[in-house]
């Protein structure tokens, strides 16, 4: 497996372009199953997870055309891809395709809504908690689906070939379940109301794309979505929103190392809570035309307490990166993880740098240290892996991050973006 080697101590100065959001691109790609007409997505990031969803869609019969660069395009700009599902040739999503990534399970919603039946393997993905699919399946059952579990597969059928509009109330906010039920409801017979819907920007992005395809959705961005089912959806052209998790990651990296970095294409409205936390830690955060500037020149890092929450709260996907930053704070900070029960696996790896972190249940107490020292570390999941890069950027000496396939799932050309800003970082082929 590839590794990443860093030598810490350099400030970051320059500009980092923010890619399209992985967590928005994946459901948008899956939404192409809802229509026989072409769906064109702009600003799609080049990531392992994107390639995996492409494989899954191709298995269902989706034609995928990746457009080439145009004159004047940024060499780090996103892809333009056309997805055409004119004929669904297979409604089974097999284990070998679904087991590596949780989001691939979401195909069950569009397949069931359009074809009236689907057989999808139970999902895999990062080992950051149980994350059951009960909410997904309960939502589809509420829409009239008959569902059985057989040999590790979810076998779903819509009696009469079409789902029925209803009210779906999630007992707990779930981004994935909101994606699945919303997509399924667009082609259901009648009106569906989703109560306690997720409000994350990626959910909003999917809803806006579905509306462009002809869906009738109101309440977008609120906890109550109203979806009037239509007989069919059409094609559309839609631009994937910028990645708020990548934005926050590079913002924390700049805060950790010092210097000044302009995060091009970043949108402050997508991650106001993390930006507010950065400002409280003593970092200058300046929204500008076309992006955000992050600067820390000479001043120390102040300790800040956080608690992860669904949007618009502090995102769980930035918890590990924030913890890395707090290892160098001038005091003690607490981090409470409320979303996933097993998301402190990076603590042991950060300790290898000399970090002082104590975990009690879902609360981590971080005591800042004057210096981190480079180490051999192992990535445990997507977001944890990049927290080790952040620590390595500020650590004294050499750091090697092993098992970085997790990084490739969610961060496009990370070492290129950081090296352009002065980091001493390179990929070592396996």
- Which residues lie across from 348 on neighbouring strands? none
Query: Which CA distances in Å does 336 have to 206, 242, 274, 333?
Result: 29, 27, 14, 10
Give the tokens for residue 381. Answer: 């999941």
What DSSP string describes 159-181?
Answer: GGGS-B--EEE-SS--HHHHHHH
**Helical (H) or strand (E) element with 184:** helix 175-185
Alpha carbon distance, N-terminus to C-terminus of the chain: 4
Catalytic, out of 111, 126, 384, 414: 126
Q: Exposed, middle or buried by CB within 10 Å (0-12, 13-18, 19+), for 351?
A: middle
Q: At what angle do helices 134-142 and 175-185 cross, to 10 degrees?
A: 20
Choose among 362, 269, 365, 273: nearest CA to 310: 273
> Residue 253 gets which letter from DSSP?
H
Residues 6+ away with beta carbon under 8 Å from 277? 304, 306, 314, 322
Known catalytic residue at 126: yes
Residues 6 or more apart whose Cβ sits within 8 Å of residue 279: 285
> Would you tell me how many other CB atoms lie within 10 Å of the CB of residue 369?
14
Closest CA to 212 of 197, 230, 184, 233: 233
Beta-strand pair 3-7/398-402? antiparallel
Question: What amino acid positions are annotated as catalytic residues?
Answer: 126
């Amino acid at each position: 497996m590839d590794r990443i080697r860093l030598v810490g101590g350099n400030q970051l100065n320059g500009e980092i372009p923010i890619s399209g959001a992985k967590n928005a691109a994946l459901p948008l790609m899956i939404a192409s199953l809802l229509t026989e007409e072409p769906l064109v997505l702009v600003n799609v990031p080049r990531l392992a997870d994107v390639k995996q969803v492409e494989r899954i869609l191709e298995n269902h019969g989706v034609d995928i055309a990746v457009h080439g660069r145009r004159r004047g395009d940024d060499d780090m700009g996103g892809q333009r891809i056309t997805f055409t599902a004119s004929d669904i040739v297979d409604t089974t999503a097999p284990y070998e395709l679904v087991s590596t990534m949780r989001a691939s399970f979401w195909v069950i919603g569009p397949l069931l809504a359009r074809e009236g039946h689907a057989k999808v393997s139970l999902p895999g993905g990062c080992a950051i908690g149980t994350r059951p699919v009960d909410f997904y399946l309960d939502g589809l059952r509420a829409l009239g689906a008959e569902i059985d579990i057989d040999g590790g597969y979810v076998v779903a059928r819509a009696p009469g070939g079409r789902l029925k509009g209803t009210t779906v109330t999630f007992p707990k906010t779930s981004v994935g379940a909101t994606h699945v039920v919303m997509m399924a409801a667009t082609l259901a017979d009648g009106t569906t109301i989703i109560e306690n819907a997720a409000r994350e920007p990626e959910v909003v992005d999917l809803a806006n794309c579905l509306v462009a395809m002809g869906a009738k959705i109101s309440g977008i961005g609120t906890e109550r979505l109203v979806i009037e089912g239509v007989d069919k959806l059409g094609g559309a052209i839609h631009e994937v929103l910028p990645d708020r998790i990548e934005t926050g990651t590079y913002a924390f990296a700049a805060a950790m190392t010092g210097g000044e970095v302009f995060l091009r294409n970043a949108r402050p409205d997508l991650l106001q809570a993390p930006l507010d936390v950065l400002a409280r830690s003593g970092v200058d955060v300046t929204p500008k035309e076309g992006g955000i500037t992050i600067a820390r020149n000479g001043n120390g890092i102040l300790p800040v307490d956080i608690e992860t929450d669904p949007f618009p709260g502090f995102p769980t996907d930035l918890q590990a990166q924030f913890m890395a930053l707090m290892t160098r704070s001038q005091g003690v900070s607490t981090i409470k993880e409320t979303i996933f029960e097993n998301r402190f696996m990076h603590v042991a790896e950060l300790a290898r740098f000399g970090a002082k972190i104590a975990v009690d249940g879902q609360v981590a107490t971080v005591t800042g240290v004057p210096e981190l020292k480079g180490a051999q570390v192992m990535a445990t999941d997507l977001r944890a892996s990049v927290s080790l890069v952040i620590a390595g950027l500020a650590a004294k000496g050499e750091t090697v991050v092993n098992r970085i396939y997790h990084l490739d799932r969610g961060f496009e050309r990370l070492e290129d973006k950081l090296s352009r800003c002065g980091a001493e970082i390179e990929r070592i082929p396996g």
